[in-house]
Amino acid sequence: VKRVTKGVTRFTMAVRRTISATDVAKHAQVSRTTVSYVLNERSDVSIPTATREHVLKIARDLGYQPNRAARALVTGRTHMVALYAERVHTPVAASILYHFQKEAAKHGFDVTVGTNLSRFVPQVVDGILAIDSPTSIQKYIEENGPLNLPFVSIGPYFVDSVDYVGVDFATGTQQALEHLVSVGCRRITFFYDGIIPDFENAVDPRCRTYAAFMKEHNLPAEYVRVPYGSPRHEARTTIREYVRNSSQLPDALFCRYDELAIGAYCGLRAEGIRVPEDIAMVGCDGIEEMEFLETPLSTIVQPFEHLCVEGWKFLKQRMEEPGLPQQTLLLPPHLEVRASSLR
């Protein structure tokens, strides 16, 4: 069967014409198939070393670059994975992006970033790594049905119906609170943002564990809520108002995450409150910034790199074998005790 080209130059649109596998085949005097086999390093077909070397050389000389769109079209794999987060703008997301990108690159995958799940449909990415956003994902699924895409959730706050690499912030929180109690704190206030209707049954282990711990130790649970917005700014404003309106400060502030802690610290200092003398502080996440404040802040450190290494492994396995049973892993965080909670 011969295809007949009727018209003259039909395609004005495909501007860039790059070197294709056909070109390599022509120059190397072999068929496109052979080129494909060589370039894909297929072990099931045996190509004589001479032919292989020759094809490889020609490809190199011609500067051949496989067309990823064409490959994606036929294989159904784009070699692109997504990093999803509600807010990509945070130090935590930046750190995870860095490590995840590094892992993915090792296996020839590129990483795209976004805050909109519906962009990441099949044929755009082969899989998704989601940070710390179970509620928005559950909401998405309710509205759009399941994302038929390899999906791994990571962080202290994960979706537990899919593959996840969690951080055991329940234990982390327990340790942090025990530490605070051990240095003499009794009134430990939970400093948080978001909407938590019921702390004892909250999805977030930090909330749950705090509530349980305080109850168990017969200590007063106190909550200070930061309104939604820029966490540092809102935290600073909130704590300043709180300080002004309080007759007596609590012994310690346990912050849901580091950025809140940083805003709070700044606000406290601006009000002349000393940390840890007047109030001790512990945050969660372990972003670098916490170590570089005048009083370095204690925090529950997430193992970012480990998280990404394992997250990538899970995602890769899931992409290769979608039918796999659910894979889960819970990594221990590390309580980094610094000056802010030593007294």
Partner DNA sequence: ATGAAAGCGCTAACAT
Partner DNA sequence: ATGTTAGCGCTTTCAT
Stretch 234-273: interaction string toward a copy of itself, x if CB under 8 A: --x-------------------------xx-xx--x----
Binder of residue 116, out of DNA, a copy of itself, none (CB less than 5 to 8 A by kind): a copy of itself
| Segment near DNA (CB under 7 A); pick from 62-70, 98-106, 220-228, 324-332 | 62-70
Q: Report which of 331, 334, 335 is spatially closest to residue 166, judged by C-alpha positions.
A: 331
Residue 258 and residue 235 in contact, taking contact as beta carbons nearer than 8 Å = no
**Residue 7 CB, nearest approach to DNA (Å):** 3
70 binds a copy of itself (CB under 8 A): yes
Report which residue type is found at 135: T
Binder of residue 288, out of a copy of itself, DNA, none (CB less than 5 to 8 A by kind): a copy of itself
Stretch 76-95: interaction string toward a copy of itself, x if CB under 8 A: x-x-x-------xxxx-xxx
77 binds DNA (CB under 7 A): no
Stretch 31-60: interaction string toward DNA, x if CB under 7 A: xxxx-xx-xx-x--xxxx--x---------
| Segment near DNA (CB under 7 A); pick from 68-76, 132-140, 208-216, 241-249 | 68-76
Residue 299 and residue 167 in contact, taking contact as beta carbons nearer than 8 Å = no
| Segment near a copy of itself (CB under 8 A); pick from 120-128, 153-161, 216-224, 241-249 | 120-128
**Using CB under 8 A, which residues numbered 286 to 325 contact a copy of itself?**
288-289, 291-294, 322
Binding site for a copy of itself (CB under 8 A): 1, 3, 13-16, 18, 65, 67-70, 72-76, 78, 80, 88-91, 93-95, 97-98, 101, 105, 110-116, 119, 121-124, 148, 230, 232, 236, 262-263, 265-266, 269, 288-289, 291-294, 322
Binding site for DNA (CB under 7 A): 1, 3-8, 10-14, 17-18, 20-22, 29-34, 36-37, 39-40, 42, 45-48, 51, 64, 66-67, 70-71, 73-75
